[in-house]
Chain A
Amino acid sequence: MNPPGASVSLIGHIALLAIISFGGVPGVLPDLRDFVVTANGWLTDRDFANCFAIVQAIPGPNMILMMSFIGWKLGGLPVAIASALVTFGPPCALSYTAFHFWDRFRETAWQQRVRRGLAPVTIGLVIAGGYVMARAGDAGWASLAVTAAAIGLMLMTRINPLWLVAAGGALGGLGML
């Protein structure tokens, strides 16, 4: 079991990442992985990849659950709950406050600028999140092929993403990855 200081530092780091996670939580995955796997060695790369996979396979608020599982691995249920709370609490308060303000100034020139300026950066972060997760947990060429196929099918067909996740799971279950 890790010292309590580790839990506090994890919760603090998740809180910081959550409040700057413009464009959504997937964008924090590369930074979070560096922090918990590479810098501190609290989780193995495989553990991290497992947490990511599990939250895709179950319903519920998936990124909040992912933070909870990382917290759970480190310090049990209390840290899991605290990690969940800091993932959505501060951003929620911010959205709540900002919404009225944003709505009042809709269609103004400066707001369009903010919108157009923020969008590409947030999109780059989301793609980076996917890229890092595709390579997490020593993924071999077969896993990368599954990722590539999922990208292609998502972009070129109107297939329900759930089928792609299920197909990936089936291929993996058959020991092909």
Chain B
Amino acid sequence: MSSALNEVETRPPVMLGALFLAFLKTSMYGFGGPIVWVRRIVVDERRWLSDRDFADLLSFCQFMPGPNVVSITVCIGAKFRGPVGALAALAGFIVIPWAVGFGLGALLLSYAQTPLLQGILRGVAAAAAGLLIATGIRLLLPHRHRPTALAFAAFAFVGLAIVKLPLLIVVLGLVPLSIALARPDGTPAR
């Protein structure tokens, strides 16, 4: 649990270069959900974290604003090497992959009007939207026995997608109420 944070101090220090390279790899492999690759590299390959620690970190980062994988990157870097580690991991995750992805994507966007590419993009967007919805449904499954949780998920969905309220209104309106009504009993929802 929280003592797991101290265990790492008995191991050899994680090098800044290793953080940079590990997250560079994660980002470049990151087709179809970078989280999968972060787990594979950080837990299975490098053995920097146990599965349990990783799950704890993930549950924290899923609630933080911004790109989830970026939060994980920053937290893992910070955990091993402080602020410099966070920067090294972040630089690995973003700088080169962003430049490569931006160049590639800008090229594709300039040809987006050709019928073939137009068709392909249409199909990719349709499938990717499905993956997003499925991810949401999967995350919702552990909460299926809590009517309040289902209700708040439904309110958030309807507010944003159907009524088309601004995100700020939805978040400010629902989050305080949802936290006030949540009970801390039972197993923590993951």
Write the residues of chain A forming the contact surface with B, with a CB cutoff of 8 angstroms: 16-28, 30-31, 34, 47, 49-65, 68-69, 72-73, 80, 84, 87-88, 90-92, 94-96, 98-99, 102-104, 106-107, 109-110, 112-134, 136-137, 139, 143-144, 146-151, 154-155, 160-162, 164-165, 167-177
Contacts and interface: CB of A to CB of B under 8 A. Distances in A.
B152 A124 contact: yes
A26 B33 CA distance: 12
Contact of A91 (B33, B65, B94, B143): B65
A121 B175 contact: yes
Given A22-B65, A87-B67, A121-B152, A59 B30 contact: yes
Contacts of B55: none
Contact of A124 (B5, B31, B153): B153
Nearest to B35: A24
A61 B122 contact: no
A31 B66 CA distance: 15
Contact of A160 (B32, B71, B174, B183): B32
30 contacts: A19-B65, A21-B167, A27-B160, A31-B166, A31-B167, A54-B108, A61-B101, A64-B67, A72-B102, A91-B67, A95-B74, A103-B2, A104-B2, A114-B182, A120-B156, A121-B178, A126-B135, A129-B160, A130-B131, A132-B161, A133-B125, A133-B129, A133-B132, A144-B126, A151-B133, A155-B138, A165-B124, A169-B120, A170-B123, A172-B121
Contacts, number: 400
Nearest to B165: A31
Nearest to A98: B64
Contacts of B97: 59-61
Contact of B179 (A50, A117, A134): A117
Nearest to A104: B2
B153 A123 contact: yes
B130 A146 contact: yes
B94 A88 contact: yes
A154 B131 CA distance: 7
Contact of B127 (A55, A88, A164): A164
B75 interface: yes
Contacts of A80: 102
Interface in B166-190: 166-168, 170-171, 174-175, 178-184, 188-189
B188 to A, nearest CB: 5
Contacts of B63: 22-23, 114-115, 118-119, 122
A115 to B, nearest CB: 6
Interface in B124-165: 124-140, 143, 146, 148-157, 159-161, 164
A127 B122 contact: no
Given A24-B67, A34-B164, A124 B154 contact: yes
Contact of B28 (A51, A60, A88, A162): A60
Contacts of A20: 65, 167-168, 171
Nearest to B97: A60
Given A102-B60, A127-B153, A115 B188 contact: yes
Interface in B54-87: 56, 59-71, 74-75, 78-79, 83, 86
Nearest to B83: A96
